[in-house]
């Protein structure tokens, strides 16, 4: 409905994970990006100060009316080069009224995606309702709405390369030794630039002049293959760095055959986008006298969006993986006084607080790695978290 003005069109994406695909926060007007829009609810600001998108999404059943202005904005509005989108929440009445809705997609009979490990199921449920009525007939009214969303959407099938048990030092009989002997004879491992001066480290060059690998892995401190005996190498790291070894052990087990003649693409995963939203509004209206009307509204959002890792639950990996949260809270109030037949005074108040966070699914301390950089350990006595502050979730508080 918001695209009804000729200057407004719906985009397919906006800088928010909440309902961007349905148009609410992806409205482009006058040729500008959605961030140029100005959203109002009950004539109070309804803009996210982080990326300037809409912050509260009331369900359609709770909207009394809406208006979209794409021309020159009235003097009461500002900061809107795009569209000015106004909505108002319903009020209660003397009669008890309500509604309920449920839209569900179960994923039943979804087909296998090409290369996937199983059926790629898209599950979605959107549900909620409204309820309004009188607390004190003709005087005090209440109205509330709720909307929830549960969605698990495929994010694509990915092929990755993960270390084997021998490489991770967990193979039977080789505990604590990183054994990369499975790479010997393969041409896929790269040859470092510093090794090109020693012809015994590689099998000449190809037609393009690139060195042909023997499958050796090299000690970065000496630029010699691990286990080098003068003619060949064993690819055994007998005293691996404990941090590096612990990091390798966060990778999942290979679950598919690698590409022919390589150790590449030996792990396949089906990533998911998971949305869990819970939002509601409560509005109370009070007719104190025939000339005095007061209202109060509280709005609440608890919206979480998770993109699963490409390399298992213990290894933050894959573009956009982790937890995105948006937890807005808002209050609005108003007082209208009819002074005379030609004069009305209106007072409006609004306050919004929103917590935004992007957090990796697991951090290095949870994997038992810790901060091994010398001189960068957290110093509780000094009150400084050291370099570890970058690993902690960060809240963006907007008021």
Q: Are residues 156 and 276 in the same domain?
A: yes
Q: Is the residue at 287 inside a domain?
A: yes
Q: Are residues 56 and 109 in the same domain?
A: no
Q: Are residues 23 and 150 in the same domain?
A: no
The parent domain of residue 122 ranges over 97-160+269-362
Q: Is the residue at 226 inside a domain?
A: no
Per-residue pLDDT of 107-133, as tens digits, reads 776 666 665 566 667 889 999 999 999
Q: Is the residue at 280 inside a domain?
A: yes
Q: Are residues 135 and 17 in the same domain?
A: no
Q: Is the residue at 111 inside a domain?
A: yes
Q: Is the residue at 263 inside a domain?
A: no
Given 89, 123, 138, the domain boundary residue is 89
Q: Is the residue at 176 inside a domain?
A: no
Instruction: Quote the CA–CA distance of 160 and 267 in Å, as a whole number.
Output: 5
Q: Are residues 40 and 81 in the same domain?
A: yes
Q: Are residues 156 and 12 in the same domain?
A: no
Q: Are residues 77 and 102 in the same domain?
A: no
Q: Into how many domains does the chain fold?
A: 2
Q: Are residues 28 and 146 in the same domain?
A: no
pTM: 0.74
Per-residue pLDDT of 214-226, as tens digits, reads 999 999 999 999 9
Query: Percent of the chain scored above 90 by pLDDT?
Result: 41
Per-residue pLDDT of 177-227, as tens digits, reads 899 999 999 988 899 999 999 999 999 999 999 999 999 999 999 999 999
With contact defined as beta carbons under 8 Å apart, do 36 and 82 qualify?
A: yes
Q: Is the residue at 306 inside a domain?
A: yes
Given 89, 110, 132, the domain boundary residue is 89
Q: What is the pLDDT along the chain (399 residues), one digit of tens a residue?
A: 565 565 556 555 555 667 666 555 667 777 777 777 888 888 888 887 777 778 888 888 899 988 888 877 777 777 767 788 888 899 999 999 999 999 998 877 666 666 556 666 788 999 999 999 999 999 999 999 999 999 988 888 889 999 999 999 888 777 788 999 999 999 888 999 999 999 999 999 999 999 999 999 999 999 999 999 999 999 999 888 888 888 888 899 999 999 888 899 999 988 888 999 999 999 999 999 999 999 999 999 999 988 888 887 777 777 778 888 889 999 999 999 999 999 999 999 999 988 887 776 445 555 666 554 443 444 343 333 333 333 333 444 444
Q: Is the residue at 206 inside a domain?
A: no
Closest-CA residue to 168 (of 220, 255, 246, 265): 246
Q: Are residues 75 and 119 in the same domain?
A: no
Q: Are residues 63 and 133 in the same domain?
A: no
Q: Are residues 26 and 68 in the same domain?
A: yes
Given 68, 89, 110, the domain boundary residue is 89
Q: Are residues 24 and 156 in the same domain?
A: no
């Amino acid at each position: 409905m918001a695209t009804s003005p000729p200057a407004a069109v719906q985009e397919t994406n906006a800088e928010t994970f909440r309902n961007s695909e349905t148009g609410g926060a992806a409205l482009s007007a006058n040729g500008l990006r959605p961030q140029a829009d100005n959203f109002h609810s009950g004539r109070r600001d309804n803009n996210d100060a982080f990326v300037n998108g809409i912050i509260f999404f009331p369900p359609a059943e709770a909207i009394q009316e809406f208006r979209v202005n794409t021309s020159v904005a009235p003097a009461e509005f500002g900061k809107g080069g795009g569209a000015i989108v106004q909505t108002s929440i319903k009020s209660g009445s003397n009669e008890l009224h309500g509604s309920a809705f449920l839209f569900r997609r179960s994923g039943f009979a979804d087909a296998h995606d090409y290369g996937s490990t199983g059926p790629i199921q898209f599950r979605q449920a959107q549900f909620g309702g409204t309820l309004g009525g009188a607390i004190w007939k003709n005087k005090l009214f209440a109205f509330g709405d709720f909307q929830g969303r549960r969605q698990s959407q495929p994010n694509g099938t990915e092929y990755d390369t993960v270390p084997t048990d021998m490489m991770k030092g967990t193979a039977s009989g080789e505990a604590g030794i990183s054994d990369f002997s499975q790479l010997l004879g393969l041409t896929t491992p790269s040859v470092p630039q510093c090794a090109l001066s020693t012809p015994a480290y590689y099998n000449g060059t190809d037609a393009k002049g690139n060195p042909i690998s023997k499958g050796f892995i090299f000690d970065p401190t000496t630029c010699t293959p691990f286990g080098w005996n003068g003619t060949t190498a064993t690819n055994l790291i007998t005293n691996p760095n404990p941090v590096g070894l612990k990091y390798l052990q966060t990778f999942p087990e290979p679950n598919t055959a690698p590409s022919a003649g390589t150790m590449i693409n030996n792990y396949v995963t089906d990533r998911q986008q998971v949305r869990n939203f819970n939002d509601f509004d409560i509005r109370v209206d009070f007719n104190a006298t025939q000339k005095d009307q007061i209202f109060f509204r509280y709005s609440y959002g608890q919206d979480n969006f998770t993109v699963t890792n490409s390399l298992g639950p213990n290894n933050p990996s894959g573009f956009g993986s982790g937890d995105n949260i948006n937890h807005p809270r808002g209050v609005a109030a108003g007082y209208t006084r009819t002074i005379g037949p030609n004069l009305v005074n209106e007072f409006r108040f609004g306050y919004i607080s929103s917590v935004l966070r992007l957090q990796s699914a697991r951090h290095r301390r949870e994997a038992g790695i810790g901060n091994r950089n010398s001189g960068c350990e957290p110093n509780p006595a000094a009150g400084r978290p050291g370099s570890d502050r970058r690993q902690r979730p960060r809240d963006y508080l907007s008021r």
